[in-house]
Amino acid sequence: MIRKTLTTHLAPLRPLVIARNVAQITSIHSVPSMKTKVPTKQHSLELSNLRKQLLDRPGLLGIKRGMITWYTEDGNQFAATVLEVDSCEVMANKTKETDGYTAVMVGSGTKLKNLTPDQLRLAQQAGVSPKRSIREFRVRDESGLIPVGTELRADYFAVGQLVDVSGVSKGKGFAGVIKRHGFAGLQASHGVSKAHRSAGSTGATQDPGRVLPGKKMAGHMGAVNRTVFNNEVLHADGDAGILVVKGVVPGPNKSVIKIRDAKKLYGRSLLSMKNVNRT
């Protein structure tokens, strides 16, 4: 048996150049390499504090007592809300060195039972009675800190200035789309059967075949934090602890309300102040 060997003459192969994540430069005028700067982290706590619109002083806590009709000297009338300022005192101060930001803790009211060890320790350090409600107010820098134990009265705000009031809105429970989002509802006739206040179609058929996130549907309504901006101070009595604010205030009666200077008018960020000083 004769075996034949086949030989082929192959052309010389060019050496393969393997470079990982390197672009092949074909022009002599191209830039061979370029160094990029390290990206700046915009989500750090320090930069976040510089961007926040903060006030130069804290606010105080009040208790919503109800609404009244306020009459002016010209005979005009409009709705107003009465807020009671009861034993509002500074509980503690937070600094940038210890907590990473600057804030003032303010307490209101008096709590006599069911006290936790932390509440007792905080009241003893401040030299005040234990408080029923404690809230925190961010300030721009340490110049806005107030000595611990200082009492804040209703005349802390001047008559005629604008304030922001924050509170937890009234809870409505499980509400439909008409009450919760203001839907018009379906028709009252022409074959509509027992679906007059329904939401209708909430999604497409095959594409995308699901209900997209954020769709307005029935669900829990109310009981969320709400802020009303630029309410005018009509009356401030420090001795009686009464503060009358123009307009409505979120939340039911006897609820705790945060009152502070109007942020849109008096609030500034440290970053904007630095840019003004540079110019």
Phi-psi region at 109: left, alpha or beta (left = phi > 0; alpha = psi -120 to 50): left
Q: Which of 9-13, 56-60, 207-211, 261-265 has the lowest mean pLDDT?
A: 9-13
Q: Angle at Cα 61 formed by Cα 55 and Cα 67, nearest 5°?
A: 110
Question: Hey, which residues does 168 pair with through a beta bridge?
Answer: 225
- pLDDT tens readout for residues 150-200: 999 999 999 999 999 999 999 999 999 999 999 999 988 898 888 999 998
Higher pLDDT, 254 or 275: 254
Backbone angle region of 212, left / alpha / beta, with phi > 0 → left and psi within -120 to 50 → alpha:
beta
Q: By the 8 A CB rule, do 89 and 128 touch? A: yes
Q: CB–CB of 105/90 below 8 Å?
A: yes
Taking only the tens place, the pLDDT of each residue in 142-155 is: 999 999 999 999 99
Q: Give per-residue burial for 106-118: e unless 16+ CB within 10 Å, then b.
A: bbbbeeeeeeeee
- The SS3 of residue 154 is helix
Q: Are 216 and 181 in contact (CB under 8 A)?
A: yes
Order the strands of the 133-138 sheet from edge to edge: 89-94, 103-108, 133-138
Mean pLDDT of all residues in 44-63:
88
Kindly indicate the confidence band of residue 27, based on its pLDDT and cuts at 50, 70 and 90. low
pLDDT of residue 18: 53
d(CA 230, CA 116): 37
Mapping DSSP to helix (H, G, I), strand (E, B) and coil, where does residue 226 land?
strand
Q: What's the whole-number average pLDDT of the chain?
A: 87
Q: Quick count: other Cβ atoms within 10 Å of Cβ 139? A: 22
For 122, other C-beta atoms within 10 Å of its C-beta total: 19
Q: Checking DSSP bridges between strand 162-168 and strand 256-261, what pairing results, if any?
A: antiparallel
Confidence band, pLDDT 50/70/90 cuts, at residue 8? very low
Q: What is the pLDDT of residue 224?
A: 96
Instruction: Please give the pLDDT value at position 19.
Output: 56
Question: What's this model's pTM, rounded to 2 decimal places?
Answer: 0.76
What CA–CA distance (Å, rounded) separates 231 from 264?
12
- 8-state DSSP, 278: H
What sign has the CA pseudo-torsion 211, 214, 216, 220?
positive
| Rounded average pLDDT over 238-257 | 95
3-state secondary structure of 143: helix
Q: Is the dihedral of CA 158, 159, 163, 168 positive or negative?
A: positive
What is 45-178+222-277's CATH topology?
Answer: Elongation Factor Tu (Ef-tu); domain 3 (2.40.30)
Rg of the chain on CA atoms, in Å: 32
Round to the nearest angstrom and report the end-to-end CA distance of the chain. 98
